[in-house]
Structure 1
Amino acid sequence: MKKHKGLKGAQVTPSPTPIPPIENDLAPECILVPKVYDWVFFANEIETTNFIPDEAARATVSAAIAAGEVVTAEVVGPENLDDVESFVTILENGNPGRVSIRWIIPLTVNVFINGTLATSFQVTTQASDEIMLCVPVGITEENIEAKAAQVVTEGQVPVLPGGEPFGPIIPINVVLCKSVHVTFEVKLEVLAKFCTPRPNNIVVPRPTLRCDLSSIQFPPQCPDIFPPANTECQGTALARREETVATFGVIGTVIEGLSTMTARIAEECSLATSEFTYTFNATDIEPVIPTPVPPIDTPIELNFTFTPSTFETITCDNTTNSLVVFGQGERVLNGIEEQLVFELRLFEGAQSAQLLLRDTSGDVVFDSGLFEALVDFEECDTFGDLLNLI
């Protein structure tokens, strides 16, 4: 818990008369609501090519390219995201089940010759996804809302020469950000909190087992995947080129260096919002190696940056104001990309942090040891805490 100190020399203000608490008039209510069974947010990059449909404009642009003039194209997404169409098909109900989504994105293409607009036309591009969602028996396509959240296009790109009969080639690169909800109307008596979408992180299995859940009145929730559990704590950390005595490899090669890290763990008490980056810069010229030394090749380059890809679990200690978060990520060392398991520890009392990286066999390949960091730790309210207050 943080303590706030008063300013020295400040005037003492008399304590006001306490205001009596307002009577609690809350009562249980039964409501009919669309219950969220799943909510996924993800994105895809779509790369394709197109051609100029107007014959006269196509000839003008071809002549400009042949003459060496600067010919570029600008792809513009729809002004209204509702113009992006989606078609949902449930391939297999289950917990989770397999769902196919087809997207049609309208685009406007502007072609410029030496910066002057030469022609403009409309095109459509398509994309398809096969994802896993909580769609038990009783959920239909009408219960799934697939909407475009954003259409991101590149700036102006060069128009490429092409042969007859199609003429110049226009590269199109679009990033489509998508939000998919699964809802079903139910009657509930609720105690609720705001929730956030989960990442699209469930691998489509082959084959998928079928689950027959038709005997229940309402389709069951999928508590294992949604909504994500509320964490018991959250924390942030900042370190900029802090002195570090790190250990590399299973034999314990000691390397002195500098640690730089920015971490936001379980913001808003949700593990899905976590992110951090860690960079180690070696300052040793000759590494200190334990004796006897097993026959290994000492890495030529020991500087690296580690970036997490998934956050799996978090452990909180509210008595010491510390947390430990586990997950997986990537490290590039000596030009080789490695998939490693991480363990990040944050300590508010000691204002320090520690990062451990393990390989797939569980051996520690990097241990930063404790290094100084500005750490802020906050306890979260869980449903259990709220229920204990009632």
Structure 2
Amino acid sequence: MKKRSSIRGSQTPTPTPTPIDPNNLAPECIRVDKVYDWVFFANDYQNKNFIPDEACREAVSNALANGDRVTTECNSTNPEDVICNATILENGNPGRVQIIWTVTVNVSVFINGNLACTFPVRTQFDDTIMLCVPEGITNDNINCRATQVICRTDGVLMGPDMFGPMIPVRVVLCKDVQVEFPVKLEVLAKFCFPRANNIPVPNDVIKCDLNLLEFPRQCPDIFPVDNCECQATVLARNEETLATFGENGTLVPGTSTLDGEICQECSLGDSQFTFSFTSDEDGDTTPTPTASPFDLSFTYDPSTIDRVVCDTDDESLAAFGEGTQTFDTSTQFANYELRIFNDPAGFQLILRNTAGEVIFDSGVVDALVRYEECETFADLLNNND
């Protein structure tokens, strides 16, 4: 049985935190393509392209020589028009898959605001990635697609005489790759989310000895990921904070702003938060030998959320990962520990350097919190005992 708790904490004015999305288990009988692996990643392509139309090349060269204004635009193609071809190089857990992506964008050249010409630029991306592709999975079971095409061009460069003006083009391709196989299942179902493309491609080919089943085996070590035991949303706007900086314990008064969703729908992949601290240089606090005369305001952006630990008895959770701490003139890497408490409602953010030393501790800060336990497979199995 889930525990549902009311919002605690107060602010003026009182904002509304993001509601928790339910993701309850339910028995289902389905005929479906089972997802054996699912990754999402992106590639960045940059190149200088000559203008294929001879008349346009000559017009642009003359315009540049005369000091006219020459501008360019790059129009992205529809992601559905991107072509991808997947080839399994080696089955395994994980196995090796090669994917070739072909995308075409259109580049337009303007002279003093008037269109001079438009021409296509064709780009190919070649990826080799590690996926769950056990014996029985074939090329037809690799479902690859582009979700977004981003194109940018920055003006015109003067190239060598034989090519004339060159136009730099940058193309970013966002990609979604799934390994699917048709099965009939009776399941207890929850929504799941893609994992990061974070398995390195080994230099030596590693072959796995897999036993053949009616359906290929899943890869439980890498997908699907375990569900969280709890989920929470937290919201604080300019809440008073007496923070500690550095190993010497420098006390700095200020305000904290935090907006976070941890394990939404009970999935670690659906987690994010943002944090900022504004120091109060004129704060009315008692001077101490460790007080700081500097402005230590900063923002913190997490790059990963590696794990979440739940304490269902105390109705609290702790999220761990890494990110960057950005001051007015500098940025540094920092690991974080974000603690969220339901009763009393609040949070605490602790940042550590690469040596594990605490470089920032917000202390417990008041916040609006929604906390809820997740129903896991273990809960249902224990209830059936």
AA matched with 1:42: F
Q: Which moves more between the two structures, 302-311 or 51-60?
A: 302-311
Query: Aligned partners of 1:360 and 1:92: how far apart in 2?
Result: 37
For the Cα contact (< 8 Å) 2:281–2:293, is it kept in 1?
no
Q: Which amino acid aligns with 2:83?
A: E
Is 2:219 the partner of 1:197? no
Amino acid at match of 1:36: V
Between 336-345 and 348-357, report the one with greater CA deviation: 336-345
1:11-160 equivalent positions in 2, closer than 5 A: 29=29, 32-79=31-78, 81-154=79-152, 157-160=154-157
State how far apart, in whole Å, the 2-side matches of 1:289 and 1:263 are.
Answer: 34
Q: TM-score, normalised by structure 2?
A: 0.84
Map of 1:339 onto structure 2:
333
Query: Contact 1:301/1:333 (CA < 8 Å) preserved in 2?
Result: no
Report whether the alignment pairs 1:355 with 2:359.
no
The gaps in structure 2 that reach 5 residues or longer are 8-25
Partner of residue 317, structure 1? 311
Q: Deviations over 1:302-323 (max 9, x none)?
A: 3322211111221223444322
8 Å CA contact 2:236, 2:366 repeated in 1: yes
Identity of aligned residues (%): 52
TM-score, with structure 1 as normaliser? 0.83
Aligned pair in 2 of structure 1 residues 207, 311: CA closer, same or farther (>3 Å)? Answer: farther
Q: Give the aligned length.
A: 360
Whole-Å Cα distance in 1 between the matches of residues 28 and 347 of structure 2? Answer: 45
Contact 1:137 1:213 in 2 (8 A): yes
Q: Deviations over 1:148-185 (max 9, x none)?
A: 1111223x642222232211111111221110010122
SS of the aligned residue for 2:189 comes to: coil
**How far apart, CA to CA, are the structure 2 residues paired with 1:371 and 1:345?**
10
Kindly provide the amino acid, as one letter, of the partner of residue 348 in structure 1.
N
Contact 2:281/2:295 (CA < 8 Å) preserved in 1? no
1:82–1:69: structure 2 CA closer, same or farther, 3 Å change rule? same
Deviation at 1:208, TM superposition (A): 5.3
CA gap of 1:268–1:206, structure 2 versus 1, over 3 A, is same
Change (3 A) 1:369 1:383: same
The answer for unaligned runs of 5 or more in structure 1 is 5-25, 292-297
Post-superposition Cα deviations, 1:244-302, rounded to whole Å, max 9, x if no partner, equal 122222332322222222211112221112111222233257984569xxxxxx89663
Q: Which has the larger radius of gyration?
A: 1
**Maintained 8 Å contact 2:299/2:325:** yes
The superposition leaves residues 206-259 of structure 1 with CA deviations (integer Å, 9 ceiling, x where unpaired) of: 445331214444321112221222222221222222221222223323222222
Aligned partner of residue 369 in structure 1, secondary structure: coil
Match for residue 382 of structure 1 among 331, 354, 376 = 376
**Does the 8 Å CA contact 1:300/1:334 hold for their aligned counterparts?**
no
- Which structure carries more relative contact order (alpha carbon 8 Å, separation 6+)? 2
Paired residue secondary structure (2:57): helix
Is the alpha carbon distance of 1:128 and 1:375 closer, same or farther for their aligned partners in structure 2, counting shifts above 3 Å? same
Shift of 1:344: 0.5
**Code of the aligned partner of 1:364:** V
Aligned to 1:218: 215
Question: Closer, same or farther in 2 for the Cα pair 1:255/1:165, shift >3 Å?
Answer: same
Shift of 1:27: 9.1
Measure the CA separation in 1 of the matches of 2:310 and 2:127. Answer: 37
Does the C-alpha gap of structure 1 residues 215 and 125 become closer, same or farther in structure 2, counting only changes over 3 Å? same
